[in-house]
Structures are given as structure tokens and as C-alpha cells.
Structure 1
């Protein structure tokens, strides 16, 4: 009977249609039992440990699998049949071991084998014989060429459940009382080590924390490998530790289960706990993504902005439709702003041709067009000189400089060149992250970027786009196709795009860094022959800023002044006639009335223009007022009165307030106004010698020039030579202000009060020194010249104070009598 069961046992290994026996234990109780002279062995490496992935456990029963696996994984084929191994071992080792039943454990890669043995043969001897046999033969299945089969005697009561509990290298060992009412004893690490070390290398033993209230008590045992853990679990589950072994009076039962070693949030915890590694790596990844992904996109958008790829006005279909519509509907009305400019361009034709000539030459230097505000610099360069230039980039520094905050500045700079996408809001976030990281790690991570760095990225991407545009004109069929890119750009200055930087040095006292970055970037464009650069500026001291970027170059400069009286008159007259010329003819058939021919008051223009000057913005304002029906004389006087009011508001009133940001006092501004009302030009150094300008006089004059009250004219060698009104109309406005006796008396009184304070302070200083000299016991003869000098200075200051007081009395009397 036993031999027939042995021969029939291989049938239980069929992975095809025949079921595997006892997959859920005897009578599906989950347990198997052994009688007298019977024992249970567990063999590992009988099946692949991960076979449950192929069998889709637990989605299908474990005892049903595809028949195709029977040809590859059946133990009878792979040589891992435990029954046959027992039979061979018993015959070779001369020991009576007869297998009676087998139970496959597919998900654990092993099998249980029930066997009978002689009464005189202990289980430990059976285990030792089989282990020696497997160690000698080193049986290895084809799927595991480096790990041999092992065997162990089941000491406890194995649980052969078919639940979806996958093996792991960690076992949870619970300590259970052997009978109800008894007390289980928690085992120490040394005792657990002695029990489980025979089954394989242990990685760690973690007992339950002493303050834990969880019952039953437990401990974690980590094996080095999963097969060692499966062997220990199947051999030691249900093992009873006797009293002699430390299991207590009634004994302690071990209940084992697999515990998945899954640490919750371990990725997050590692990232949080290693900021010195994570933050620099994160910064590098962000920088790498920006360069690899966003930089090409941004360069593409900048290039599209310069070439006007998406501007509908440049589309040939739009142009064709617009031209067709113009042929049907006749409208030739020009904007008011363009009317009359032809006279100005005729006068400045030489400047236009000069700039066009410079753009055809290979000269790595800047072109500077300098002139007061309202002199038509932008119109001269953009609308006239570069009218036929296809590729031009116009950068207005005014919105960049007037932006408040780093994010707004970055957005303004990006908008000028079409740089997108812009993540300016991340600039403040990255700064906070960098500060937090510095507090955590003690060092700066470089995650945040300064405004300087962000602007540098914008200008660098723009330079890349400009270079690409310039090289787009290069073809393989050209005669100089053999030249390198740099040599080709140098040989073809006419192919380079033009960069126009408008409002350069606008509020220069506030934006040094922004202008320095623009100047450095422009210098790279010119020296690398990427583009021509034209600066438009109101500041006469532009050379100080630009010389830092190109210290060894001579700039090409054009200075625009106000229009001559003849050109100014033509501008106004043409401006008046422009609207009438575009109007339809009268319905009665009469000819149009041209203002220059029909109006009798235009003869006043000669006198009016002498008062107004040749500033284009003022002339255009005059023309608009005349269009409304005012006479030229009345219009000019209105403009002068308005300018006088602006001067008082901007330069006089509020200058001495505590919260004022002006760098001059009302007395200093009024002194210039009063003197310029009498003379059109003042000597620069003469102003500095006046008592009112003794303290910080040059800084005050530069501030007033920046505020456009005055214009400082350079003389030989570029030194300041003279001072003129900031606008021609200011000359008349200054005279209008000085004609107001009450205003003049009030401000003159303020000047006299200020001068009196200055002389009084000088007298006190002299008196203190004389007092010090008088305390000497004897006056040396050599001090006599010093004493005479001090006495003379004292007398001079006293005379000035008396004169100031006398003049002040007259002014106070006038202020008390008139409104």
C-alpha cells in the first residue's frame, strides 16, 4: 500500500488538468497533522518563487493553472520532485523513509511532504540525512541555477492557507498561550535568534516596544532572503516553546505570518531628510529642464516677435484685402501725428542718410541719437531711417525702468522682446525656498535667481534669436558660403538686424543695474557682429554709461536740436492743412478752404514761434489749439501760461517738504528761473559760484537737468559749459513767472532768508575762532594777519546780512500790500 502510494505520488504534481492535493489542508481546515511514526518535511525551491504572477493568484484558484506550465514547471520534469528525492536519499543513506502525501505550496515555491519512519529513527536524524543528501547533490532547477533545494522538518503545526498573502523576508512572530487562561511569555532576542538562525541568515530582530499595549505580544524577524523566511515560517508556525525552554508554565505557541516591509512615505521622508542632496539636485533639474525645454521655445517666440511672423498687418493676404478695399473705398486720411512731419524730415534728411550709411558699414560700435524729449528721435530712426528695414527690434527702457518689483521688471523686459513663457512669479518663491534651505543646510543652494540673472537670460535668448535671423540669409549657393558664421556676419553688415534701444537712461539715477545690463548686452551684439545697435537718449551724459561697456570705441553720434523757425512754421502750417486736404470737396462744387490761404491770423506765427521755440511736441500742441479756432497769439500765451503752472508745481512748490524726493530746494530752482528769464544762456561755473549753490551745486544741476527744467550744454572736451532752459517754451514761461510781482517777492524773500542763514553761520564760525584766539595769554605777531582776515570776513558777512535784511523789508512790505 505504501509503495503504491509512493509510485502514485507524482500525479499530485500535475499543473494541468489533475488537481494538486490538500491545497487548503485536510478537509480544507488549513492544517495538516501527523500521526504516530509520521513527520512532515518542507522542501523549498520546488517551484519558482514568483509563480503566483504567472498563475494570477488570487484571481483564480491556486490548484488550477494553464496546462502549458505542466511542460516546464512540473517537478517530475525539473527534477525537484520531493518524493523521488526522499526515495533516492533513503536508498543511498540506508534509512527507512516512506513519503505518504505531498502538498504543493505554489506561492511559496515549495512543498510539504508527509512521511513515515521507523520508531527508532528520530526526526532530527531524518532531517540531517536529507540535508546532507541535498548538500551533496546540489539539486538546482533550471529557473534557479544559483540556489539549490533545501529541506527542514516541520516542528510546529503548519498552516497551509490559500489566502493572498505573498511571502516576504520579514516574519511577524506572535506569542500565543498554549491553552485558554494561560499566559504567554514574550521571547527575548537571544531566544528568537537560537530558534530561527538555523533556517538562514537573519538581518534583524525587532521586539515589540516596551510601552506598547498591543496584544498578543509580537516581534519582527527579518531574514536576508525570502526563501529563508518561507522555510522558517512553514517549519516553525505553531511551534510550542516548553517551560524548560522559557515558554512559561503552560508553554508558549509561536504564530508566524508574513509582514510586508513597506515603509509608508519613504520617498517623501528621504527627500525631506536629505536637503543637502535634494535641493541642489532639484535646482540642477530645474535649470536643465529650463535650458533643454523652455529656452528653445523662448528663442522661437523672440524670433517670431522680431520677424513679425504672427502680425496680421504683415500678412500678404491681409495686405491684398486692404489694398482691394482701399481701391473701392477712398480714404487717405493720415493721422494727425504724422501731419507736417515731411517738413521736419526734409530738414533732417542729412541725419537720416548718415544713419543709413552707418548701418551699411562694418563698425562694432554704437550709434547714439541724442536729443531733448519731444525732438522726434524715435520717429527719425524707426519711421524714417529704418522704414524699409525688415528686421528690427525696438526696446523701450521706460516701462522696464518704471516697473515696481523684480517680477514686474522681468515681465516688462520680456514683453519688449517677445520672451515667453515667463515664470516671473517663481522668482519670489525660489527666493523663499533658498532662504529656507539655507536655514536648514547652512549653505546657499543657488536655487533662487537674482534680477540680474533673469535679465541676463532674457537678453541672451534675444541675442540667440538675432543671430539666427542674421544667418537665415546665408545660402549654400553664395560665393562666400565657405566662410564661417562669424566671418560671414562680419562680411555682411547689411544683413544684420537692427536693435533700437529707446529712452536709454530714463531716470538713470534709479536704474543703474538695468542700464548696465542693456549696455553690456548691446556691446556683445556689436562686437560679435550680430546686430546694429542704436541708442535713443535724452541724457547728455550717456557716454559715461556706454563707455563702461565699450571702453575702447568711439561712438557714432547724432545730436538732434529743436527745429529752426522756418521749419517750425512749415510744420504748423502743414499740420493745419492736412485735415482739410483729406476732407471730401464741398457739395456745392466750391473749392476747399485751405487754412494757410484762408486764415488771416497765421501771420502771427512768426512772433509766436519765436516765443514757443522749435520743440516738436510744443509745435504740435500749438497746431491743435489753432485748429480749434484760437488765434496763434492766444494759443501761444495759453501754452506759456500752462508751462508756467507746470514749472511751479513740478519744481517750486513742495520741493522743501520733508517727504519730498526732489534733490533741489525751491530757492535753487527759482534762482535759475530768475536768471534764465533775463539771459537765455548762463555760464555753468558762474551758477556754481553763487552762494545758493555752494553745497552740492553740481548734483543739484544734474537733478534739474534730469527733471528737464534746464539743459546743460557741453563745451570743449565734453565739460559742462552752459545752462539753458529745458524746453524753448520755458524761456517765455520763466519770464511770465518773474512778471508776477507777488510770486517773485515771495521766492526772492526765501532766497534772501537762505542767504542770511548762510552768512549768519559764517559769522558764528568766525566769532568762535576769534573767541578762541582771544583766550591766549599773549597774541603772537604771526597771528595778526589771521586776525585781520577774520575781522575783514566778519565785516563783509555783516554787510551782506544788513543788505539782505534791508531788501527783505521791501519785499515783505510788497507781500503785505498786494494779493
Structure 2
């Protein structure tokens, strides 16, 4: 029921201003929101206007006009009568509400309520409906009956009644004149005014997720089914749409296009011009006079979504062969910019030992206050080395002089394993020296897989962080990309490239370390960095490469890369490099890296008998002294004098063991445990013989890639047990080495070189050529004698050698027989062939005699194997 006060206001429309403030009230029930339409009713608030009920002149309540709401809701179109028209007001709502409309839970009604809460009563001037009321002139004889907001279009449809004597075009002209003279600007867009246009077509009131776009699709459809529409030319389209705003372009449908219905595209520079044109001309029918053809043409408008936002992404996805390498390069560049400075910092810290607390003053002070104060586990070291260092004082001083002088070549310290190369270099020559880095090749080459190799090399030089695991993932990505595009992405790197990257970064950090002591106040501060490094060899860091060619594998690239990298830092005066190796063939790898230099070499051999005996005695005395001191610290009542081991027969034991440092230390430990020198040496020799039998004779730990056979190893063991020195070429010409049937031991020289690398034997050279063969170390010489005295082992190995030699002779006889058969097939025998036949027959007879002799010896050996354990 409408209040009496409202009826009085509506009846007393004496002035236009008063009439504007008292719009027709509605007395209808609240309508549902369907198709995204919200009906505003003026009976309660100006936001809630719906179909109006006209009042009689006398103020009585008139009849309610039923506009078939169900029909409108189902069709999505207005029910417009003959005396009604529709205006579209633009710029009433911000278009930024469009993302909120994409949510299914949001409707126009909910958003309208949101705007009502935002626009409180104190902000009534910002009310969109108040803006519509202000836009309509007071002298315009129309009556608003319905207002439908279009939030995603930023405007609203206003349906109004007018007198039959008026024309809707005149009403539109007066409204446009009012808006030009008195522009109204919304609160959310103060730089743009509200616009209004007469709706000429039939607007489609949809709530689909189709949002405004600057490009319109204009489809030409028949007004009635079965009729043929007319395709409008650009001139007609321009005259229709130009009134709604400046047109950027009109794109007609290609003539050869088979798409129906025919269409054209119209682009507007301003989005709100597109919205106005679409809402005013959708469903407009052009007659024959306007160019619409005999049956007329209906315009069906829709927004065309432009793919501008995805054009870059589409180009990227369609050009993987170009994009993927660029992305890989960018990732590599970013990683270099971010991680390389961090890695160089850690390498410098590792070389300079900046974080090693044992060098801190406070640690040294605490240690001086209490001798038993340790923050870390005490490192194990060999006692009694003072005697050895005195014996090798000349070598230590020579090495120090080379490191202090200007050297542009490698320093190589050679010697058998266990000769104390690393101890002499690290603990004596470089004791107290700054900027020393040790690279142990043994753990690097023995690592499992490429990731382990990278990780261990990085740890040796202090290179961190290192993402060794990422290479596997990168390889999988590279493989997948190559399978789809046919081009490698470049994400994965080879082992060689990654090792080269680590070594290159290390070289740069070492150069910075060498230049870290340079100051502006120096006399030669003006010279270049290279000249400074060449003039100050004492400032260069020292790189010690231990266990170089430890495995002596030709296929390993680690040794070659380290050698080439070392050659680079030496030639550029960045650092001194000292190689520690037990391989006598080290010159092959190093000459390849530095072919124009002569290496400076120091060779460490076995100790003399007197020095070896002094070492063992000194080691025992230091151990006894340390134990006595520990017992003394425990208390007088627990003090016991440790028994002194017997040294009778020590000279004979040292003659057997030789001067190898590790063997002498082993002897000292056994003497300390209470054994006599004779018992200790006998046990050491027996253990060494057992190890040799397992590694070289029984094949239990044989390497699949070895280049020697068990028969060749036994031949050398047996020959050296009888004679400690063998002629190199005499061994090479023996049947076991010259005619071996093993597939991996056909080359006799390679077999000898491989056995020397395994330290079973030692090859002595004379003027660069191999001359003699000896046991790998004196302990092996004694172990060879123990192995030969084992009758069962000797019978087994001799049987294997004789079996192979018998097979060799049988193979030679087979070759002779084939040639005799060939000669016997000749049509006639001549004197020239008689000599060849006699030679072959004598060779056949000699071979058969050898086989008979071998079988006789094999019978005796088999008897031993059958009777003895």
C-alpha cells in the first residue's frame, strides 16, 4: 500500500523540479532476479524501481500494469508497448566490477546491495539512480516505468512512457542536448560524463560470462526464418555506428569465406562506445530503404574477445626451438650472476683457511694454557718421522726453493706408494705456508657416477653450493624436449663441461687470492696483475695434486682435465702445482698438457737399511714414552713401566721388508704388540703373499678391464723368486707374453705396464727405454718366495701355464697342417716348394714334441694336485 504522503506528492506535479523528485511509485511484490536482471522499485527506495503503476489525475490509485515478468525472464527481452521506448544510460557503474561477475555466487542483486552499502545516505549524490534522475530534463514529458542495471556493461536500461503525439527521436535529442549543456560525471570517473542513447533494437538481457570488448561482431540475419538477409556495406555500417563514438576500423568478412551468417567486425578505440553501440543496436532491423534488402536485415551484435594478452605466450609455445635455448641461456646467466660470487667466496675461504679455528689467536691461547684442550679430534700421523726428514732434508730444501722461485712448469714428486710423498710435501715442505689447497684424485676417480665425481671435486677445492643432483633432472628434461621438438634444450651439461666450470671458477678465485696481498702503497703498485704475479712467486697459492694417475685408466677424463687446468694456472703465474704420483708413466699425461716444458722432478725411493732401522727404533721409543706419560698422569699407584720389546733380529727383518715407509710402520706396530722381529716379519710376508695370490693368481678381485692374464702374473712371480732382476725383453719374448691366448692380454708390453701400474713389479729404465723388471717392493720379493714354495699353488699355476702353452703349440700345428694341405693340393711338386714342405714338417715335429713334453709335465702336476692339500 502506497503511503498517503507519497500519493500527495505524486498528484501535485505542478513544477518540473517537484515532478523529478516525485517519480511514480510502484506497488508490486518483490520480483526474482533471473537472467541477471534486477528490478528497482521506487515504492521503497530509489534503488528498488520496477514497473510503475500510473496514477489518475484525481490522485486515485490506478490499475497495475502487468508486464508479464515471467515472459521477460524466460526470453531475456523487454516487453515494450507502442507508447514505450528504452534509453541506455552509460557510465553509471565502474567496469572494474567485471571480475566479480565471473563468480557464480555473485549476481547483479548482490552487487547492487554492495553498492547500496557503499553509497550511504550521506553520499546520495553518488547514487547511480540519482544520476539518472538528474540527467532527464524537467520539461521532458516522459514517465519512467522500469530501470534495469547492467553492471558488467557499466550502465542501465531505462524504459519510459511518452505521449503518442511525441516522437522518441525528439526525446533522445532533448536528452542529448541537456547532457551536453549540463554534463554529469560519476564519482568513480570524474573525467568522463554520463551518456544516454535511444535503444533502436531489441536488447538481449543475458548474464553470460561474455564481457565487453573494443571489437564488435555484427552478424546479418533474417528478421524472419526463411528470408534472405543482405550483407551491409561498410558505408551503411559506418552511418549506423558512428553516432555512438569514433570508429577505429571496419573489417568485412572475406569474400571467399564460407562462414554463415555473413558478418563484419567493427572496432572502437573506446570500450564504452562499443558498449553503447551493442546495447542500442542489437536486434535492429534495417528496411529496404536503409539498405537492408527486400526482406530486411536484422543486426545481431556480440563482443569479440581479442587475444592480445596471450599473443606473447602463444608465440613462446609455438617456437620451442628458439625459446628453449634462450631460456636455458637466461637460467645459466642468472645462475652465474648469483652463485658464482658465492662459490668464489667459499673457494677463497677454503684456500686461505679463513674459517679454520685452529689458526685463531684465542684457540692458540687456550691451547697454550692447557695441553689437553682440543676442540676437534686429533689427527692421526706417523710417529718417528724426524729421522726420515733428516735423511730427506736435501729433497725438502730443493722443493722449497722451487716453490719460492719463479717456476713456469710442473713440480712432480714420484715414488712408490707408501714412500711418504704426501707427508713430506704437506707436513714438511709446506708446513706453516699459507694458501695451500690439496686435491686428492683417488676419491674423485673412485666416485660412483657423474654426480659423485662432481661433488667430490667441488669439495676438494671448496666449490659450493654445488647442485650435482640437478644434472640428472636436466638430462631428463633435455631428453623429453629433444623427443618432442627434435632439438636439445641445452639444460643438461656433460661431465666434462661441469668439471671445467668448477676448475675455471677455482682458477679465478686463486688469482684473487694471489693478488689479495697487493696494496696501493707497494713500490710496484702501478704494474699489471700478470706482471705482479710473475714478479712475486711467493704470493702464488700452491696446488698439491695427490694420487695422480692412481688408477692409470686411459678412459678417465679427470686426470686429463686436472693436468690441462694445472698447466693453465702455471703458465699464467696464478699458482704453483705439485703432482704426487706413483705411476712411472706420468710423463705421458703431463706432456700432453704442457708439451713445451721440462718438468722438475723429485724421486723418493726406499729408505736405506740404517735409516729404516732408526725409524723403527725411534717409533717404538716415542710410543713407549707416550704410554709412560699417560700412565703417569693417571696416578702414581697405577704407574707401570711398559715392557720394552725385543729387537733381536731386527736387521735381518729390515733386509726382508726393505725401506718402504708403510711396511716399516706396520713392523713397528707389531713389535709394540709384543712380537719378535722374526715373528712380525714372517707374519707380514705371509699376509702379503696371501694378498698377491687373491689379487693376481686366483682371480677373485680381478678387474674386467685388466690387460694381463693370470699366467703372465705367475710367470713373473716364479721368475723373480729365482732371480730378483729380469731382463725386460727376455720376459717379453717368453711364450706366456708373446703368445697369450687371453683376449685382454695379447699385447705383452701392455701387460707388463699394467702389472707395473698395479705395483706387482717395477720396471727400471735406462736412457728412456725399459731395461729390467724387479719386484714392486722388497716385501713382494719375499712373498714371491713364499708363493713358489706352496707346492699345490705352484702345481696349479704351472698346470695353467702348460695348458696355455700346449694350446699355443696346437694352434701352431693346426696352422702348419693347413698350409701342408694347401701345398699337397698343388698339381705338381717342384724343387722350390720342397724346402717349404721340409720346414713345415720340421716345425710340425718340434711342436708335437713340445706338446708331448707338456703333457708329461702336466701329468706330474696333476698327481700333486690329486695327492696333496
Find 1:682's aligned residue among 720, 726, 731.
726
CA contact (8 A) 1:158 1:236 kept: no
Pairs within 5 Å for 1:261-410:
274-326=319-371, 337-410=381-454
Q: Partners of 1:643 and 1:419 in 2: how far apart?
A: 40
| Corresponding residue for residue 64 of structure 2 | none
Find 2:764's aligned residue among 703, 710, 713.
713
Tell me the SS of whatever aligns to 1:633. Answer: helix
| Corresponding residue for residue 116 of structure 2 | 61
Q: Partners of 1:542 and 1:356 in 2: how far apart?
A: 22
| Corresponding residue for residue 6 of structure 2 | none
> How far has the Cα of 1:721 moved from its partner?
2.2
Post-superposition CA distance 1:576-628 (Å, at most 9, x none): 10112222387889999798xx65x4241111111111111110000000101
Q: Partners of 1:774 and 1:148 in 2: how far apart?
A: 121
Structure 1 residue 549 corresponds to structure 2 residue 600: no
Find 2:754's aligned residue among 703, 716, 719.
703
Tell me the SS of whatever aligns to 2:852. Answer: helix
Q: Partners of 2:218 and 2:415 in 1: how far apart?
A: 91
CA contact (8 A) 1:709 1:725 kept: yes
Post-superposition CA distance 1:476-521 (Å, at most 9, x none): 1111110111211111110011111111112121652111111111
Q: Partners of 2:193 and 2:51 in 1: how far apart?
A: 34
Q: Partners of 1:734 and 1:60 in 2: how far apart?
A: 103
> How far has the Cα of 1:463 moved from its partner?
1.4
CA contact (8 A) 1:204 1:223 kept: no
Assess, with a 3 A threshold, how the Cα gap between structure 1 residues 802 and 425 changes in structure 2: closer, same or farther: same
Find 1:778's aligned residue among 821, 825, 828.
828
Assess, with a 3 A threshold, how the Cα gap between structure 1 residues 109 and 9 changes in structure 2: closer, same or farther: farther
| Corresponding residue for residue 617 of structure 1 | 662
Q: Partners of 1:189 and 1:433 in 2: how far apart?
A: 56
Assess, with a 3 A threshold, how the Cα gap between structure 1 residues 157 and 542 changes in structure 2: closer, same or farther: closer
Q: Partners of 1:572 and 1:299 in 2: how far apart?
A: 45
Q: Partners of 1:255 and 1:671 in 2: how far apart?
A: 102
Tell me the SS of whatever aligns to 1:807. Answer: helix
| Corresponding residue for residue 673 of structure 1 | 717
Structure 1 residue 791 corresponds to structure 2 residue 841: yes
Q: Partners of 1:671 and 1:52 in 2: how far apart?
A: 93
Post-superposition CA distance 1:122-165 (Å, at most 9, x none): 656887x799999x99x99998999997845343368799x999
Tell me the SS of whatever aligns to 1:394. Answer: strand
Find 2:459's aligned residue among 415, 435, 439.
415
CA contact (8 A) 2:89 2:194 kept: no
Over aligned residue pairs, what C-alpha RMSD do you find? 5.3
CA contact (8 A) 1:395 1:417 kept: yes
Structure 1 residue 752 corresponds to structure 2 residue 802: yes
Assess, with a 3 A threshold, how the Cα gap between structure 1 residues 109 and 790 changes in structure 2: closer, same or farther: same
CA contact (8 A) 2:124 2:130 kept: no
Higher RCO (CA < 8 A, seq sep 6+): 1
CA contact (8 A) 2:417 2:582 kept: yes
Q: Partners of 2:18 and 2:558 in 1: how far apart?
A: 94
> How far has the Cα of 1:277 moved from its partner?
4.5
Post-superposition CA distance 1:425-459 (Å, at most 9, x none): 11111111111101111111211111111111211
> How far has the Cα of 1:818 moved from its partner?
3.5
> How far has the Cα of 1:400 moved from its partner?
1.0
> How far has the Cα of 1:238 moved from its partner?
8.3
Tell me the SS of whatever aligns to 1:705. Answer: helix
> How far has the Cα of 1:723 moved from its partner?
1.5
Post-superposition CA distance 1:738-786 (Å, at most 9, x none): 1223322222222122111111211221121122112212223333333
Q: Partners of 1:3 and 1:116 in 2: how far apart?
A: 19
Assess, with a 3 A threshold, how the Cα gap between structure 1 residues 481 and 189 changes in structure 2: closer, same or farther: farther
CA contact (8 A) 1:23 1:105 kept: no
CA contact (8 A) 1:368 1:558 kept: yes
Assess, with a 3 A threshold, how the Cα gap between structure 1 residues 27 and 118 changes in structure 2: closer, same or farther: closer
| Corresponding residue for residue 642 of structure 1 | 687
CA contact (8 A) 1:123 1:153 kept: no
Worse overlay, 781-790 or 527-536: 781-790
| Corresponding residue for residue 808 of structure 1 | 858
Structure 1 residue 472 corresponds to structure 2 residue 507: no
Q: Partners of 1:22 and 1:108 in 2: how far apart?
A: 21
Post-superposition CA distance 1:714-740 (Å, at most 9, x none): 321x32222211121000000111122
Post-superposition CA distance 1:261-280 (Å, at most 9, x none): 89999999886665334432
Structure 1: gaps spanning 5 or more residues: 13-20, 88-96, 179-183, 206-218, 246-250
Q: Partners of 1:491 and 1:574 in 2: how far apart?
A: 43
Worse overlay, 488-497 or 803-812: 803-812
Structure 1 residue 768 corresponds to structure 2 residue 811: no
> How far has the Cα of 1:253 moved from its partner?
12
Assess, with a 3 A threshold, how the Cα gap between structure 1 residues 781 and 24 changes in structure 2: closer, same or farther: farther
Tell me the SS of whatever aligns to 1:712. Answer: strand
CA contact (8 A) 1:615 1:727 kept: yes
Assess, with a 3 A threshold, how the Cα gap between structure 1 residues 117 and 477 changes in structure 2: closer, same or farther: same
CA contact (8 A) 2:720 2:784 kept: yes
CA contact (8 A) 2:544 2:577 kept: yes
Pairs within 5 Å for 1:523-562:
523-562=567-606
Q: Partners of 1:683 and 1:433 in 2: how far apart?
A: 58
Pairs within 5 Å for 1:436-447:
436-447=480-491
Assess, with a 3 A threshold, how the Cα gap between structure 1 residues 270 and 57 changes in structure 2: closer, same or farther: farther
CA contact (8 A) 1:42 1:112 kept: yes
Structure 1 residue 726 corresponds to structure 2 residue 776: yes
TM-score with structure 2 setting the length: 0.74
Assess, with a 3 A threshold, how the Cα gap between structure 1 residues 130 and 454 changes in structure 2: closer, same or farther: farther
Structure 1 residue 493 corresponds to structure 2 residue 572: no
Q: Partners of 1:531 and 1:366 in 2: how far apart?
A: 10
| Corresponding residue for residue 63 of structure 2 | none
Q: Partners of 2:380 and 2:279 in 1: how far apart?
A: 98
Assess, with a 3 A threshold, how the Cα gap between structure 1 residues 240 and 798 changes in structure 2: closer, same or farther: same
CA contact (8 A) 1:41 1:153 kept: yes
Assess, with a 3 A threshold, how the Cα gap between structure 1 residues 158 and 735 changes in structure 2: closer, same or farther: closer
Tell me the SS of whatever aligns to 1:602. Answer: coil
Tell me the SS of whatever aligns to 1:61. Answer: helix
> How far has the Cα of 1:711 moved from its partner?
1.6
Find 2:559's aligned residue among 511, 515, 524.
515
Q: Partners of 1:304 and 1:656 in 2: how far apart?
A: 41
Q: Partners of 2:96 and 2:46 in 1: how far apart?
A: 21
Assess, with a 3 A threshold, how the Cα gap between structure 1 residues 588 and 449 changes in structure 2: closer, same or farther: closer
Q: Partners of 1:237 and 1:23 in 2: how far apart?
A: 26
Q: Partners of 2:799 and 2:115 in 1: how far apart?
A: 107
CA contact (8 A) 1:168 1:229 kept: yes
Post-superposition CA distance 1:206-227 (Å, at most 9, x none): xxxxxxxxxxxxx999966632
Q: Count residues in correspondence.
A: 763
| Corresponding residue for residue 40 of structure 2 | none
Tell me the SS of whatever aligns to 1:337. Answer: coil
| Corresponding residue for residue 16 of structure 1 | none
CA contact (8 A) 1:196 1:232 kept: no
